[in-house]
Structure 1
């Protein structure tokens, strides 16, 4: 068979794979699904924060994300009910977030129209001395382009993944995937999920497309004869379901569900938190992200291509913002990673092609895990600088259209952490300037 015929058959195969993936990437939601009810309520709900006592006053300092009674919780609930009644509201949910020292209460109108306009209500709550702060519940979505093309794994070529795995596989690093539900029974994810939690109370837990795809890119099993190899196949995942699937955007989340999940990740010693989603700035989430950075947690966010600054949380100071390598004008300061025609895991023991900055961010979360295995004490700012230092123009790759200016040079980034050359090593001079690795 000549080369021309080989190319034609390859394109036909890719087209078939693309059509199959498009047909099954996002499950359809029923008309009366709980997410529709939650969306309908969100315009009448607010978050009210009450300050928790200092940790040395609480006997349960090892709290890890549940409803532990710290001796003052009943009092805060009573205060919350009194606040709600005074402002024409009722308490519908709450969650302690000791990572930032607050108890978060969801409140909604007790009777339609009684509480008045949301802005006026939030102002009244903000001036109540019992309230740390109050805010609206924001909505977020996964950043998925959904255009499958070629059945190849971009990182295997652009990042020389096999070479990276000779130095590091992410062993011992825990990555929190704050996303929709992950199919932990998928053949490429079996044994990769360390812990699973559902923070979307109004929508039953499920294996969903967006979260499963992100998880596969980060930590799919390597060498099992199936599917793909994750960027960090020996990392372990916290599957934190803060988003739910819808018919429109691939995943939807809100301030409360995301806040619960990020707080849990901090209390569970995650080293990396991946947030393949975007939406408006939010005070609760900003406080949690600042707490994460202060604890030395690496934060990775997908850059929204429709927002000049990449949107939130990607634009938050300290977060590693990641755009797809094919995006024409990425936000300033963002890094590029493979995010187009990426093969990955899908619910129900399936694989498919995905595109979008959600999946570019997942690549960088996995790459961060590789670097943290080699240098566990690397602070977030240093890791971000090392990744940015590996972002450069590769003339040959640019000529072939495989990469664009600013794409991460994964070999250079991991080589910095390993203290040795990993990929193309034309002379010993290449490694002479590399820093020595930290003791392991």
Structure 2
């Protein structure tokens, strides 16, 4: 066993012991919220916004400033509600796709499908849809002591080429603990888009954020994949006693719209659920703006589920998943040490955390190649997929995992890790002139 790997195992053991045996005095995790009320009788009604003749200013926080037509849309929404036996619950303008999204509740007992069909034929309505639920895709045993990411991706070496400086990554997830020792100063903006449940640091969002951008060289915890990237911590999900976190069409729509209006270069979505017209429109708008989208592949769905299966989204499966969806990339997602609320660290597993690795890797590429199109960035990642030697491939799911060194070498146009002068087995791109 190499001295470096021995130190790595010792660090993992120390982190596990710290997280599981001797927790911080103020490290009690927040109690999960009760399961959310059913949204079976709530619908989203989209009203068109006028073509913009201005842009929201830099302080935009969710309102469409100086929008003189908003009162008119609210009046139309009230008229629609009165006509169809509905009650307006909430609304949120989404100028990224030119619509104002209204949440309405059916006060009757009839089937929602019939109501949606009726609304769809009203000329005042752009479209109407049900509110759908999503869940984060964590899972597995978080306490196993060995984490392979540092070995497979050679983070220290990668960070000599890129650290994600100047790149903004939107974490659309549950609440992020921005005061965690490994995340202090890493969160550019934090916004809460969940009104029904108290805001606060939560486990899933904090773990995802830590993997992407935990501080490097601060003497504690871990190093993020892109430690100099800045995070938009957008709370669109809330933690419950059931799945690790729950979200819905409206909260996710608000968060993704905010990310687009605040110049996110990468949007990470470690969650999955049914297809949704509102979210599809926002994802298409993001891709049209050149934003890189990363989604966790649901291991229970043959196509990886939504949003991972949406065209243009980089779908990511855990490296130990035996049969990932077609086209999905594999990244470390098993026994990963990361930040947890209350100045703690612990081990996590699941495709949620594999996606976070790729979001961080995308930030490294974007520092090297600002403005690179999402399809080109995906090609760099695809070009960095490797099949391991038989000894490594015997471990379930390892073959085909991303070779981060090769991906960064392609983006940098030069050798990063193993160079032709030191190895005859590395497959690296020819250096490009700077």
TM-score (norm 1): 0.90
Measured in 2, the distance between the counterparts of 1:59 and 1:369 equals 26
- 1:70 corresponds in structure 2 to 67
- 2:378 corresponds in structure 1 to 384
- 2:113 corresponds in structure 1 to 119
- For residues 47-82 of structure 1, the C-alpha deviation after alignment (integer angstroms, 9 at most, x for no partner) is 0000000012x5857783422340100000000000
* Gaps in structure 2 of 5+ consecutive residues: 1-5
SS of the aligned residue for 1:106 comes to strand
- For residues 224-267 of structure 1, the C-alpha deviation after alignment (integer angstroms, 9 at most, x for no partner) is 01000000000000000000001111010000000000000000
Deviates more, 1:393-402 or 1:242-251: 393-402
Q: CA deviation at 1:318?
A: 0.3
Q: CA deviation at 1:401?
A: 2.7
| 2:407 aligned residue (413, 417, 435) | 413
- Any conservation in 1 of the 2:387–2:393 contact (CA below 8 Å)? no
Deviates more, 1:251-260 or 1:392-401: 392-401
- 1:108 corresponds in structure 2 to 105
- Any conservation in 1 of the 2:15–2:337 contact (CA below 8 Å)? no
Deviates more, 1:306-315 or 1:376-385: 376-385
Q: Is the counterpart of residue 83 in structure 1 residue 76 in structure 2? A: no
- 2:387 corresponds in structure 1 to 393
Measured in 1, the distance between the counterparts of 2:28 and 2:300 equals 22
Measured in 1, the distance between the counterparts of 2:150 and 2:242 equals 31
- 2:141 corresponds in structure 1 to 147
| 2:42 aligned residue (40, 45, 48) | 45
- Any conservation in 2 of the 1:95–1:103 contact (CA below 8 Å)? yes
Q: Is the counterpart of residue 238 in structure 1 residue 235 in structure 2? A: no
- Any conservation in 1 of the 2:183–2:210 contact (CA below 8 Å)? yes
Measured in 2, the distance between the counterparts of 1:25 and 1:387 equals 38
Distance 1:223 1:178, change over 3 A: same
- Any conservation in 1 of the 2:320–2:333 contact (CA below 8 Å)? yes
Distance 1:25 1:140, change over 3 A: farther
SS of the aligned residue for 2:316 comes to strand
Measured in 1, the distance between the counterparts of 2:282 and 2:353 equals 23
Q: Is the counterpart of residue 29 in structure 1 residue 32 in structure 2? A: yes
Distance 1:408 1:121, change over 3 A: same
- For residues 101-143 of structure 1, the C-alpha deviation after alignment (integer angstroms, 9 at most, x for no partner) is 000000002x342xx2100000000000000000000100000
SS of the aligned residue for 2:46 comes to strand
- Any conservation in 2 of the 1:141–1:251 contact (CA below 8 Å)? yes
- 1:271 corresponds in structure 2 to 265
Q: Is the counterpart of residue 172 in structure 1 residue 166 in structure 2? A: yes
- For residues 210-230 of structure 1, the C-alpha deviation after alignment (integer angstroms, 9 at most, x for no partner) is 000000000000000100000
Distance 1:425 1:188, change over 3 A: same
Higher share in helix: 1
Measured in 2, the distance between the counterparts of 1:183 and 1:246 equals 17
Q: CA RMSD in A?
A: 2.7
- For residues 13-43 of structure 1, the C-alpha deviation after alignment (integer angstroms, 9 at most, x for no partner) is 589649929x99975435xx4xx3xx32411
Q: Is the counterpart of residue 436 in structure 1 residue 418 in structure 2? A: no
Distance 1:10 1:436, change over 3 A: closer
Distance 1:156 1:175, change over 3 A: same
Matches within 5 A, 1:271-350: 271-350=265-344
SS of the aligned residue for 1:216 comes to helix
- Any conservation in 1 of the 2:409–2:429 contact (CA below 8 Å)? no
Q: Is the counterpart of residue 261 in structure 1 residue 255 in structure 2? A: yes
| 1:203 aligned residue (179, 197, 205) | 197
Distance 1:401 1:166, change over 3 A: same
Runs in 1 of length 4+ with deviation above 6 angstroms?
9-12, 23-26, 428-432
Q: CA deviation at 1:432?
A: 8.0
- Any conservation in 1 of the 2:143–2:346 contact (CA below 8 Å)? no
TM-score (norm 2): 0.91
Measured in 2, the distance between the counterparts of 1:312 and 1:59 equals 30
Measured in 1, the distance between the counterparts of 2:142 and 2:14 equals 9
Measured in 2, the distance between the counterparts of 1:336 and 1:310 equals 12
SS of the aligned residue for 1:353 comes to strand
- 2:131 corresponds in structure 1 to 137
Measured in 2, the distance between the counterparts of 1:303 and 1:84 equals 37
Measured in 1, the distance between the counterparts of 2:12 and 2:188 equals 39
